[in-house]
Amino acid sequence: MTNAPGSPSTGTPSDGRDDPGDPGAPSALLAVRGVSKYFGAVQALENVDLDVPAGQVTALIGDNGAGKSTLIKAIAGIYAPSGGQIFWKGHEVHIHTPHDAEALGIATVYQDLALCDNLDIVQNMYLGHESTKAGVLDEISMELATKQTLSDLSVSTVKSVRQVVGSLSGGQRQAIAVARAVMRESQLVIMDEPTAALGVSQTAQVLHLIRTLAQRGMGVIVISHNLNDVFQVADRIAVLYLGNLVSSGPVANYDMSSAVELITTGESVRVASSVAP
């Protein structure tokens, strides 16, 4: 299952170890090595290895309780791993707080989005990072930068950036949360179930937005339960099963039934190589 050649915990991001048949084993923006996480007696993650390249969308899939949220929270500085290492651009980093993650260029868009419904779009985009000019809020430049970012991301459905966020649709809210990550010049954007609460056309918009991020060279990790979304948007797939990363590789190595098999049993004979990272 997790028995990659050699010891996963001693692999370094530069050793090029990845699935055989994975063309060019992309050099990772983020590399997770041997990460474990215990909550008391519960082992939520066991010796997880994962490579996340820049310019690609990595879909993290797995059943409820598989450890998906725990893994991204370990990367985002919310949970301290019980063991293992995290490498950023080939260097080991210690991410103790969400601020540490943000300082590296890692932005996380959680399911609840952490937007303030009573504030407008510009205010949400700059929450905690307001621009000032001579001691007063620089509303004009914040408004212009917000409009520019939304237009760069082809978010065209928002009528006014002075609309309160509480009046937006689910898809628009997701777009604002992503745009906020982009405006902070993040290099890795992590999204936990971004389409879970969305209808068909809003889902299509958010999937398009996710592709746009990768095209702009960012690394993207997206957690999703919806395998249709995953196969539409992902370049790579990584499968967690009961805290173990049981398979990862280019999306072409998988199909719907092998992905379902891996999610439900942790194994699939149909995937050429089910080794991590």
CB of 44 to ligand ADP, least distance (A): 3
Q: How many residues bind ligand ADP (CB under 6 A)?
A: 11
CB of 200 to Mg ion, least distance (A): 23
Q: Which is nearer to Mg ion, 69 or 274 (CB)?
A: 69
With CB under 5 to 8 Å by kind, the binding choice for 44 among ligand ADP, Mg ion, none is ligand ADP
CB of 116 to ligand ADP, least distance (A): 25
Residue 40 CA to residue 197 CA, distance in Å, equals 31
With CB under 5 to 8 Å by kind, the binding choice for 39 among ligand ADP, Mg ion, none is ligand ADP
Residue 27 CA to residue 12 CA, distance in Å, equals 11
Q: Which is nearer to Mg ion, 66 or 218 (CB)?
A: 66
CB of 68 to ligand ADP, least distance (A): 3
Q: Which is nearer to ligand ADP, 39 or 252 (CB)?
A: 39
Task: Give residues 34-73 in contact with ligand ADP (rule: CB under 6 A).
Answer: 39, 42, 44, 62, 64-70
Instruction: Decide: is 166 part of the binding site for ligand ADP (CB under 6 A).
Output: no
The DSSP result for the chain, as a single string, is ----SS-GGG--GGG----TT-TT-PPEEEEEEEEEEEETTEEEEEEEEEEEETTSEEEEE--TTSSHHHHHHHHTTSS--SEEEEEETTEEE---SHHHHHHHTEEEE-TTTT--TTSBHHHHHTTT---EETTEE-HHHHHHHHHHHHHHTT----S-TTSBGGGS-HHHHHHHHHHHHHHTT-SEEEEESTTTT--HHHHHHHHHHHHHHHHTT-EEEEE-S-HHHHHHH-SEEEEEETTEEEEEEEGGG--HHHHHHHHHHS--TTSS-----
Q: Which is nearer to ligand ADP, 44 or 207 (CB)?
A: 44
Q: Which is nearer to ligand ADP, 42 or 144 (CB)?
A: 42
CB of 114 to ligand ADP, least distance (A): 17
Task: Give residues 61-100 in contact with Mg ion (rule: CB under 5 A).
Answer: 68-69
With CB under 5 to 8 Å by kind, the binding choice for 70 among Mg ion, ligand ADP, none is ligand ADP
With CB under 5 to 8 Å by kind, the binding choice for 217 among ligand ADP, Mg ion, none is none
Distances (CA, A) of 242 to 47, 63, 128, 145, 146: 12, 8, 37, 43, 41
CB of 32 to Mg ion, least distance (A): 17
CB of 66 to ligand ADP, least distance (A): 4
| Residue 259 tokens, joined | 């992905």
Residues 47, 275 contacting (CB under 8 angstroms): no
With CB under 5 to 8 Å by kind, the binding choice for 65 among Mg ion, ligand ADP, none is ligand ADP
Interface with ligand ADP (CB under 6 A): 39, 42, 44, 62, 64-70
Binding site for Mg ion (CB under 5 A): 68-69
